[in-house]
Amino acid sequence: MQRPRTQGNHDALEIAQRLQAVRDRLARAAERAGRPADSVTLIAVSKTVPPSRVYAAYLGGVRDFGENRVEEALPKQTELPDDIIWHMIGHIQSRKARDVVGHFALTHSVDTVHLAETLQRRAETAEVQVPILLEVNVSGEASKEGFAPDALSAALTALSGLSRLTVLGLMTVAPIAATPDDVRWVFRGLRELRDQAAAAFPSLRLDHLSMGMTDDFEVAIEEGATLVRVGRAIFGERPT
């Protein structure tokens, strides 16, 4: 691995300052929830971010990075340190499933039984285990992917026979709102769904709730998030 060069000290300093602000916000939210800060994993969302800036965040201590597109993520993985923990957080087309298997520590965005079955077949061929989260469309927005809340139990039943997939929890994306408190119900709803599923499927370890982004991750932590996906607050605005 040839380490990407950061753009001088400016890149590293800017991102270090942004990271400290995010970590402070995370710690305060965890304290309000009566939880240790290390019970929440910060995932730096690096979609469209060049390897040099990803590496600057790595130098700032980040080890978990989230990518939305397989075709963007795989080249980055070859350029960046081997101890990075890569998360697939974006929608996955079935034809891209083979590129997901074996390349990500956790896939957050399994949103249909069909995709799960495709991942299972690819994992059987590769002889690997694939840790996943099920994406749930708690808000019910037509523009969002994910299982409907009332379809989650049936989905977990269907996935119970897929031996190469390990379901570790749930994920959701909240709507854009005027204030973070306006979407608290979404995060609370995902936690309640997880608790219900854990009771109904005691053989599963549904430890993780992936929820909360730059504008609302503090509320998500207060409602039980274990994984927060933060991009803009770390890397700045994406190019349009």
pLDDT at site 10: 72
Cβ atoms < 10 Å from Cβ of 154: 12
What is the DSSP secondary structure assignment for residue 136, as one 8-state letter?
B
| pLDDT of 50 strictly over 70 | yes
User: Which residues have CB under 8 Å from 65's CB, separation 6+?
Assistant: 43, 44, 45, 46, 54, 57, 84, 85, 86, 87
Helix (H) or strand (E) holding 41: strand 41-45
Q: Give the residue carrying structure tokens 């710690």.
A: 27
Q: Tell me: the pLDDT tens digits for 120-154?
A: 999 999 999 999 999 999 999 999 999 999 999 99
pLDDT at site 77: 97
pLDDT at site 164: 97
pLDDT at site 238: 77
What are the structure tokens assigned to 24, written together?
């402070």
Would the pTM count as exceeding 0.75?
A: yes
pLDDT at site 5: 55
| pLDDT of 1 strictly over 70 | no
pLDDT at site 87: 98
Domains of the chain: 8-235 (3.20.20.10)
What ranges in the chain are assigned the alpha helix state H?
8-32, 51-59, 70-79, 97-100, 113-126, 152-159, 184-200, 217-222, 232-235
pLDDT at site 3: 57
What average pLDDT does this structure show over 193-202?
A: 97
The chain-wide mean pLDDT, for the chain, equals 94
Q: Tell me: the pLDDT tens digits for 64-95?
A: 999 999 999 999 999 999 999 999 999 999 89
pLDDT at site 11: 78
Q: Answer whether 233's CB lies under 8 Å from 21's CB.
A: yes
Q: Answer whether 115's CB lies under 8 Å from 94's CB.
A: yes
| pLDDT of 7 strictly over 80 | no
Q: Please, what's the b/e burial string for 23-57 (b: 16 or more CB within 10 A of its CB; e: otherwise)?
A: eebbeebbeebebeeeebbbbbbbbebbbbbbbbb
Distance of alpha carbon 46 from alpha carbon 8, whole angstroms = 19
pLDDT at site 9: 61
pLDDT at site 4: 61
| pLDDT of 211 strictly over 60 | yes
Distance of alpha carbon 190 from alpha carbon 181, whole angstroms = 15
Q: Answer whether 130's CB lies under 8 Å from 142's CB.
A: no
Phi, psi of 178, deg, nearest 5:
-65, -40
